[in-house]
Amino acid sequence: MSALRVTAVVRRIIAQFRRDPRSLALLFAAPVAVIALLGAVLSGSGASTARVAIVSESSQPASAAVVSRLTAALQGQPTVMVNTDVHDAATARQMLKDKQLDLVVNIPADFTVQSPKLQLVTLGLNPTGEASVIPNVQQALFKAVAGNLGGALPSIERSTVYGSPDATTVDTLAPVVVGFFVYFFVFILTGISFLRERIGGTLERLLATPVSRAEIVLGYSLGFGFFATLQVATVLAFVLGRLDIPSLGPVPAFAIGLGVHTAGNPLISYLLVLILGLGAVSLGIFLSTFARTELQILQFIPIVIVPQALLSGFFWPIDQLPSLLQPVARVLPVTYAIDGLRQVMIAGADLTSGQVLFDLAVLTGIAAVFIVLAAATIRREVA
């Protein structure tokens, strides 16, 4: 292993991308634009008023009192409109379907004062949008029930008429987007760069020099690690930071950045994403062996990227996937990056957390496997 040769490869990759402003722009602007859009869309839907009904399926005498307390509590909320005409659960569900209600608070049949339990029911056609009405309702409910029931906090269950609930908001989506974008871009850019080496004749030229395959993989990893680092820094700064711009003349006030609250250390988030990215570099090199044209690299998107988007916990929790797909989800690197990022950014976990260490270990293992595969496929045999 020669530092001089590895450095030469790293510098070359950085120089090549400096000459390609479009790819650079894609690397930094695209994730920021998507997250900004996501933030705008989600916060926009949160501003509307939620139409709520409170019903009871419980025969407990206390439940009627709970209903009236909850009603009183929710009526004080600015973004909530309580429909007091609905009393039975079946009607309320029908009204959800008819789009006359956004949310139903149900006191289930097994409600007891000892273990108070509430159900929040939404339609389930668009869990992400519906979820935006929940937080302020939930706040009010906690206060009302806790006050009423002498300190015992109710457990609140989410349920939907259709599908399964998923309380996704900007906060919980941000870590996912960070991890996913790095993986996507690093994979695509490495795949195409290495394919160009193969078909452009430079790989043959490279392999006729004393550079080793390990040095090439390391050089690529460091070069793309450099860009992944800048990308993560940009995206994290945008997601976590927030710069409020006051209104000026006809331009209304707006904010740059999402100001998402992160509980954990951004450096640990970065570490997770970096190891994920290293795996993506090697995967790109490895898969470039099986492509003859740049179009064929793009054909790997539905094979490599889309399944990870669907199965890695991006949209649905792994536990709720069909049992057949769960093992698949558990071999995908993005699954572990997203889990780790959620642990760190939402739950505030650090490196003492067994779960985060496990995620890091699995990501390292997956990266190691692909580094070996990548090095093995940069065969001396060319042409």
Partner 1 sequence: MTVASPSPTTSATTAAPAVEAVALRKAYGPINAVDGIDLSLPAGRIYGMLGPNGSGKTTLIRLLTGLVSATSGEARVMGVEMPSRTNLARIGYMTQADGIYPELSVWENLSFFAALYGQRDRAEMIRALELVELDGRLGTPAHQLSGGMRRRLSMACALAHHPAVLFLDEPTVGVDPAVRVQFWDHFHRLAAAGATLLVSSHVMDEADRCDELLFMREGHVLAQGTPADLRARAGTDNLESAFLHFAGLSASPPATAGSSQEAAR
Binding residues (CB under 8 A) for partner 1: these are 2, 4-5, 7-8, 11-12, 15-16, 19-20, 200-202, 204-212, 380-383
Find the shortest distance in angstroms from Cβ 378 to partner 1. Answer: 12
Dihedral-angle region of residue 172 (phi above 0 means left; psi in -120 to 50 means alpha; beta otherwise): alpha
* 102: nearest Cα among 70, 79, 118: 79
Find the shortest distance in angstroms from Cβ 24 to partner 1. Answer: 12
* 290: nearest Cα among 217, 213, 373, 216: 373
Task: Please state, in angstroms and as integers, the Cα–Cα distance from residue 27 to each residue in 138, 234, 267, 284, following that order.
Answer: 38, 10, 20, 16
Report d(CA 11, CA 244) in Å as an integer: 38
Following DSSP, what letter does each residue of 304-316 receive, concatenated? IIHHHHHHSSSSS
Nearer to partner 1, 16 or 48 (CB): 16
Find the shortest distance in angstroms from Cβ 17 to partner 1. Answer: 9
Find the shortest distance in angstroms from Cβ 247 to partner 1. Answer: 44
Report d(CA 182, CA 271) in Å as an integer: 12
Nearer to partner 1, 114 or 380 (CB): 380
Nearer to partner 1, 104 or 218 (CB): 218
Find the shortest distance in angstroms from Cβ 4 to partner 1. Answer: 6
Nearer to partner 1, 88 or 204 (CB): 204
Find the shortest distance in angstroms from Cβ 99 to partner 1. Answer: 55
Phi, psi dihedrals of residue 375, rounded to the nearest 5°: -60, -35
Q: Are 380 and 219 in contact (CB under 8 A)?
A: no
Question: Is beta strand 254-256 parallel, antiparallel or unpaired with respect to 50-56?
Answer: unpaired
Find the shortest distance in angstroms from Cβ 207 to partner 1. Answer: 6
Nearer to partner 1, 3 or 248 (CB): 3
Nearer to partner 1, 62 or 211 (CB): 211
Burial grade of 29 (CB within 10 A; 0-12, 13-18, 19 or more): exposed
Find the shortest distance in angstroms from Cβ 22 to partner 1. Answer: 12
Helices (H) and strands (E) in the chain, counts: 16, 7
DSSP state of 45: H
Task: Please state, in angstroms and as integers, the Cα–Cα distance from residue 90 to each residue in 54, 96, 157, 296, 366, following that order.
Answer: 12, 10, 18, 53, 49
SS3 at position 261: coil
Nearer to partner 1, 175 or 284 (CB): 284
How many CB atoms are located within 10 Å of the residue 326 CB? 13
Nearer to partner 1, 7 or 49 (CB): 7
Find the shortest distance in angstroms from Cβ 135 to partner 1. Answer: 49
